[in-house]
Amino acid sequence: MSEVLFSDRNSPESEITERLPFYILSETSKSFCKFNATGRSLLIKFKPPGEEQEPTTYLKECITSLTNYLVDDVRDRNLVGLRIRNTENVQDKAVGITFRRRDQLKPDVVWSILGKVVQSNARFGLSDRLEVHLDHVRMPAGNGKTAEKTKGRSLDVMSAIKKSIVVVKAAFLCLAHALIIAMARVNGDPKYASYRDGKCLKKPVEVLLNASGVDLTNGGCLKELEHFQNYLSDYKIIVMMV
């Protein structure tokens, strides 16, 4: 695992950052080679709105710019998860977006979730420092390699013809679904066939979440994955590109 600290993002890209509606106070990036993933954290503060700008409308513009900035160099097929936390108000819980394709993480999607938070406080985040964390998982292309050009069947095709490849189609709590399915396969559970078809998973998922203490309400990223691994000590969770 490697870590790189960017002490001043504004200096080399002053022309770009001057147009952004927020200040980047610090930025760090961690690479997780085993998972083919990267974690990127920013500490930001929004620039003050104009005198005639309505706070909620301005905040929506800020979130749009922030989202575009974060995923600007991420390929559409790769997976991204997002968390935003107010560092100056401990009562504010982190707001998260579960893993999804980069082309599905639209500014409107981020705002639809953040908007629920700011309805009761139109000035949320405008004067506070926010910690923004983006998890980025590079997905395989072609025959499973992350190279730009590959030969062979795509992952979508392989998942359709290979029983050993399971596609988790759950839109919510998908990380817990995947773990239940994987454990059923390893343990020879007779319910495995039903689980892989997305059936009968509600109860075992609830049991896993309650027993592990993992909260996926705001999505599941590398932090939640590590918590699951600590709880499931008899198993070894490996995220890899095959």
Is residue 224 in some structural domain? Answer: yes
What's the pLDDT score for residue 8?
A: 44
What's the pLDDT score for residue 155?
A: 54
Reduced to 3 states (helix: H, G, I; strand: E, B; else coil), residue 7 is coil
Give the number of domains in the chain: 2
Residues 179 and 117 grouped into a single domain: no
Is residue 211 in some structural domain? Answer: yes
How many CB atoms are located within 10 Å of the residue 224 CB?
21
What's the pLDDT score for residue 125?
A: 57
Is residue 158 in some structural domain? Answer: no
Residues 94 and 179 grouped into a single domain: no
DSSP 3-state percent helix, strand, coil across the chain (nearest 5):
35, 20, 45
Is residue 207 in some structural domain? Answer: yes
Residues 133 and 15 grouped into a single domain: yes
Strands (E), the chain: 2-6, 22-32, 37-46, 79-86, 95-101, 129-137
Residues 113 and 224 grouped into a single domain: no
Residues 26 and 112 grouped into a single domain: yes
Domain boundary (137, 162, 193) is at: 137
Is residue 238 in some structural domain? Answer: no
Question: Which residues does the chain have with pLDDT short of 70?
Answer: 1-17, 89-92, 115-126, 140-164, 171, 239-242
Residues 105 and 201 grouped into a single domain: no
What's the pLDDT score for residue 148?
A: 44
Residues 125 and 7 grouped into a single domain: yes
Domain that holds residue 214: 170-231
What's the pLDDT score for residue 203?
A: 92
What's the pLDDT score for residue 157?
A: 58
Residues 133 and 180 grouped into a single domain: no
What's the pLDDT score for residue 141?
A: 58
Domain boundary (94, 119, 137) is at: 137
